Amino acid sequence: MVVAIERLNAASSVDDLVTLRVAWGVENGRELDDSFAERFVSWFEKERDRREFFVAYDDSRPVGMVNLVLFERMPSIGGPGGGWGYLSNMYVVPERRNAGVGAKLIEALIEVAETNRLERIVLKPTGRSVPLYERQGFRGDNQLMVRI
């Protein structure tokens, strides 16, 4: 089975993202409510200008997703402002894990980050996902500070 990665655009339907987010929720014990799809579409409309969305397909079936939140820094005197990205909402359906789907999603995301000359991509991995990110060149970094 060949997996294709598609980058969503303004004309893209969000149905496949909704399907994958529902699958993530069910897998994580969340109870689906009747308003979820409507709330998701509303969120997508607000967020799509500052995020890059990718969906992995096995034939026409969505099997994975990820998005990159783009942050543009204020320009500085003597140089460009730069920017960075936050890798978010990575999900691959259980039966397609460990088959290269996640890696392909990350590769597509990194390509966009490089095209946009982002200084860094950050993320908060689950313990299970750390090896995947390490294989893609991510590493732990203590340069950021967080207030929780």
Over residues 106-118, the pLDDT tens digits come to 999 999 999 988 9
Q: What is the pLDDT of residue 34?
A: 93
**At the topology level of CATH, where does 3-135 sit?**
Aminopeptidase (3.40.630)
CA distance 86 to 79: 23
Answer whether residue 79 shows pLDDT above 90: no
What is the spatial distance between Cα 136 and Cα 119, in angstroms, rounded to a whole number? 16
pLDDT at 10: 58
pLDDT of residue 50: 92
Which residue did the predictor score with more confidence, 78 or 12? Answer: 78
> What pLDDT is stored for residue 12 in this prediction?
65
What pLDDT was estimated at residue 75?
82
| Of 49-53, 109-113, 114-118, 143-147, the least confident | 143-147
Q: Is 66 exposed, middle or buried (0-12, 13-18, 19+ CB in 10 A)?
A: buried
Q: What share of the chain in percent tops pLDDT 70?
A: 95
Listed by start position, the domains of the chain span 3-135
Within 13 Å and on the Cβ side, how many CA atoms surround 99? 16
Q: Which residue has the tokens 């060149």?
A: 137
Torsional class of 89: left (φ above 0), alpha (ψ -120 to 50), beta (otherwise): left
* Torsion angle of C-alpha atoms 41, 56, 69, 134, degrees rounded to 10: 150
Using an 8 Å Cβ cutoff, are 52 and 67 in contact?
A: yes
- Write down the pLDDT at residue 77: 86
Which pLDDT tens digit goes with each residue over 80-106? Answer: 767 999 999 999 999 999 999 999 999
3 state DSSP class of 19: helix
As a whole number, mean pLDDT of residues 45-52 equals 92
